[in-house]
């Protein structure tokens, strides 16, 4: 039995492509040393289930922010070691 959708095919394809692009960006940023392996694995499960692009964008922004703070802490620690 065919399944019909109110979403035009092009729009659905675009939405799917956007979700996959966001997931790819998240996978990339989650490789950062600030993110522990266990968190990376848990995030992969959530990313696979999430169908809301806005939620993936929020997670990406949080991950980028966390990695940035980690890098700032590392740089600050390195500058105190060199003194």
How high is the pLDDT of residue 13? 85
The answer on pLDDT for 80 being more than 80 is yes
**21 within 8 A of 56, measured Cβ to Cβ:** no
pLDDT in tens, 21-77: 999 999 999 999 999 999 999 999 999 999 999 999 999 999 999 999 999 999 999
**11 within 8 A of 53, measured Cβ to Cβ:** no
The answer on pLDDT for 7 being more than 70 is no
Binning pLDDT at 50, 70 and 90, where does residue 5 land?
A: low
DSSP letter at 16 equals H
**70 within 8 A of 33, measured Cβ to Cβ:** yes
Per 3-state DSSP, the chain is made up of helix, strand and coil in percentages (nearest 5) of 75, 0, 25
What is the dihedral sign for C-alpha 46, 47, 53, 56?
positive
| Domain boundaries of the chain, sorted by first residue | 9-81
């Amino acid at each position: 039995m065919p399944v019909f959708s109110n979403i035009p095919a092009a729009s659905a394809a675009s939405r799917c492509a956007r979700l996959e692009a966001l997931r790819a960006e998240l996978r990339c940023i989650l490789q950062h040393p600030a993110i522990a392996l266990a968190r990376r694995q848990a995030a992969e499960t959530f990313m696979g289930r999430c169908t809301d692009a806005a939620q993936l964008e929020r997670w990406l922004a949080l991950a980028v922010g966390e990695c940035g703070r980690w890098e700032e802490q590392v740089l600050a620690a390195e500058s105190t070691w060199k003194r």
